[in-house]
Structure 1
């Protein structure tokens, strides 16, 4: 019996996230058991460019594909998710609705940007599916998409790079090396325009992305050759999170058990935030999960059988009064945490900025002064001293937080 890829619509065309489907996917695929050994791959590109076909060939999924005889109409609506079959590590494939669709018209720009931010915020590898003949064209269908992708990345605040894998469709006689060179020029021009208008004027593209470019022949005209080359490309996704893999630079790997919650929180934040400025995914999840834990603990306290058992033989009115005091004290502590936490987080962010600036200054001085065998030791010493200073600063704020609780 063939393995099920468990595909489902994660986000509808109207922007509604399918919580039940996500929970069922997680349960059916044993996602929570994967630890950090998993990868998320999303695909983006113009409508009717063969995105779903490529994913199905790469990962043996069953996303709905366009039938050319029915016309080049929209097939993927919203965002779909499935499990890649036969790939290690465990890989989640995400099929994003095509950009620049006739069906959405001018009103589709908002969803297009939202889905781009979502894909970049949650995926380790983003496949950009585009036509070969679009390269170098000022009004190519892929240019608005690339602009959207780059704008989205400057707002997603990932602490590690996203891998962009450009797949150029319907390659003809033009050598891949020439296509790569022309595409890089296009990419850098678009990025320069985005970065200049944003707060990243001095930030180079490779600080956000690892870029790889490959090309495929026409699926309709050279299906056998297309299938052979896709099979070779599929091998790139094995061991993708290992050093040298497509997602080998990933540094902020979050446990797979948190992926459903992360997807929900990212999408909710995107829907609420018109500017699409996202905090780091780990902050979203940590904030929400910690709040859940607090609620669970308070709920358990209200049903604390240990207190009831130990106090059961004492005067009922006094027992009940002290139980209410215990609950009130716990709730007060939780309330204080709600008030203090934003300031505490801001202080830590301030300390982090100071530490990074200090480290950069010290490293620049070290590079100029140290040499030979002593260089590595000097750099290590520099990093360690800045880290110790940062930790001492954190301890100070930790103690301040504890004092706040005591005085409260």
Structure 2
């Protein structure tokens, strides 16, 4: 095929520059090229398929990782048409003086640059094989079944001739191809590219192509088509292209131009006549081509009645197997339509009658052709085929039962849910009615798919369905109850959150009475909803009482959670600060206070803070006094619910911490009020500003002209001005002092640790002289002094 890309001339042939085997052609010199691609004798003279194809693909041609990114073409035609030379297969060809069949079997090679595999098929109508053209028919059929493009090479003077134009061969190929691959109608196609050699131009290419097309259509119309494919067209399986090459000797320039145009059909993907189109691909990965091609060749070799045994019984066994396989292949193809819907969980309508019809058709087809063979073999093979068919159909039978089971459960669920949407229905009655309905549905469907001459049973599936429905009803009951309780919980949360939040944000002596009243009102509404819904589930008195108690507990838990959320430190400080501001910053009429120098700030401050601090103990414990009946409101406890413990909100420690934090925050309000009074008194004379400008002019110029000074002034001055403008200087000062105090404490703690460590080292040093007599007295004296110091320090 490479010659279509790089052309060299050898007599009346075109030879590739990539594949360099010797090509004797009259007096020509052999052409060699060190870049030659290895070639494989794919199918030899003995019709044996080569086992080396996998090795060549993976190692010699480096196509192991090619996947689908490769192409496959085949070349065949009458013997002595120069096809091997024309398309660059680089296989041995005939000489000019010995016009006889040259290409032996089928050879395969690869293009040097492109990922294109070329099969060169031996010439047809050669006198080497004589009238036995069995191999030519098989090889042509193999080429059609495996390649994307089949190049038919013929001379111009052969057009219109039955044998010379390979029409007889193509007729046989079309017939067998239609039988084997007729099921792929419109799915997989092969391109037939007819190359007409020595085209002088007297007859236009269009006229030649029309002649060939007419012959092909006439052949196709005369084919004996299988059942169901009577109306198929040749274009359902094949596409056609026609091209011509000028006479090599009479029109050399035109020949070169034609070869160039032919080359572009194989290399230029933008060419409108590009041959390797996606619809021609066999979708076979390169690393699996050897398996695919080998399987196709096996099909071709075992087709029809080739090489049958002579003994009657052996012949019967062979033919019965072949007939059974053919009938069973049709049987499998027809039942494929059930696989996808059954595996997808769908109920196939009329599955039983359809399976019975398909099975009966397969058995009748077997009986028709196999009944004339040995009776015992025929009966045995018939029983085997029936058992095999039943075995395959049983998978669909079980799959349909599984889908019926799912559908029945789904119907049961749907019916049950629809019934439960109504009021005043009894759960047990609804379950019994729904169970009977879906069980009848399952039995009707199961009986419809049970075939005769089988041992199929659905007893186990029926038992599993009944158990499943019972379990589903129990689960559905619990699920609906939980769903109802979840909705009630959402309702309770919605009814409790906002009112309780408003009550806690307005603390006072009656705060807890309002909270308890909100709880009781919400629980009463929830109990009414619970009793209304519980009737649909056939609950007895004890179950209703338990659900009611759980409802009250859940509502109380939601209440306490809301209280805890509103009682965290941040929220408590916010509440206290709001109450303090309300008392300190605003007067009795709700107007903001503007402090004057003569106003008494201390008394209102002390009064507002004391009143605010009294609110902290109010939040410490929930007062569960019943606002309507009086007395204490209580709930029965459980393992997971402690009512008395739930009343505690703030511990003593937290109360002290919150009070301390609030007092510190209130100090800032006090300081702010004091500063506002001082600010009204402090007035700077105008002459001070003038003096500052006159006396500080030089310094001002120095600062603004020095980038370092200017940057430092900006970094310090801008924040100070911003804080002054926002009236935050007092707050910043307070924070600074707190940081200073905390830092001082940390420094003192560190210093104390250093001193303690030094004192410990001193004590250890005093203990060392115990081993020496002279130092013992001094040690005791020193010990007394240290002990005295320790006591003093303590």
With structure 1 as the length reference, what TM-score do the two structures score?
A: 0.64
Give the conservation status (yes or no) of the 8 Å contact 2:189–2:238: yes
1:88-137 deviation digits (Å, cap 9, x = unpaired): xx111000111111010112x21111111110111011011112122223
1:145 aligns with 2:175: no
In 2, the alpha carbon distance for the partners of 1:7 and 1:102 equals: 26
1:28 aligns with 2:60: yes
| 1:184 alignment counterpart | 213
| 1:349 alignment counterpart | 333
Residue 132 of structure 1, aligned match among 156, 162, 168: 156
Alignment of 1:1-400 (within 5 A): 2-20=34-52, 22-56=54-88, 61-69=89-97, 71-87=98-114, 90-107=115-132, 109-138=133-162, 140-157=164-181, 158=184, 159-172=187-200, 173-195=202-224, 200-238=229-267, 245-248=274-277, 249-250=279-280, 252-274=282-304, 349-352=333-336, 391-392=344-345, 397=396, 400=399
**Offset of residue 148 of structure 1:** 2.8
Q: Which runs of 5+ in 1 are unaligned?
A: 277-341, 356-386
Change (3 A) 1:344 1:105: closer
**Offset of residue 32 of structure 1:** 1.8
**Offset of residue 143 of structure 1:** 2.1
In 2, the alpha carbon distance for the partners of 1:154 and 1:274 equals: 14
SS in 1 for 2:280: coil
1:21-54 deviation digits (Å, cap 9, x = unpaired): 5523442112221111111100111111111012
Of Structure 1 and Structure 2, the greater helix share is in 2
In 2, the alpha carbon distance for the partners of 1:398 and 1:40 equals: 43
**Offset of residue 252 of structure 1:** 4.3
Give the conservation status (yes or no) of the 8 Å contact 2:74–2:121: yes
In 2, the alpha carbon distance for the partners of 1:63 and 1:27 equals: 21
With structure 2 as the length reference, what TM-score do the two structures score?
A: 0.34
Give the conservation status (yes or no) of the 8 Å contact 1:165–1:211: yes
Give the number of aligned pairs: 301
| 1:314 alignment counterpart | none
Give the conservation status (yes or no) of the 8 Å contact 1:216–1:226: yes
In 2, the alpha carbon distance for the partners of 1:83 and 1:195 equals: 37
SS in 2 for 1:33: coil
SS in 2 for 1:201: coil
Of Structure 1 and Structure 2, the greater strand share is in 1
CA RMSD of aligned residues (A): 3.7
Give the conservation status (yes or no) of the 8 Å contact 2:265–2:271: no
Give the conservation status (yes or no) of the 8 Å contact 1:116–1:152: no
Q: Which runs of 5+ in 2 are unaligned?
A: 1-32, 307-325, 349-394, 403-455, 461-794
SS in 2 for 1:211: strand
Give the conservation status (yes or no) of the 8 Å contact 1:135–1:183: yes
Give the conservation status (yes or no) of the 8 Å contact 2:44–2:105: yes
Q: Which sits farther off after the overlay, 190-199 or 93-102?
A: 190-199
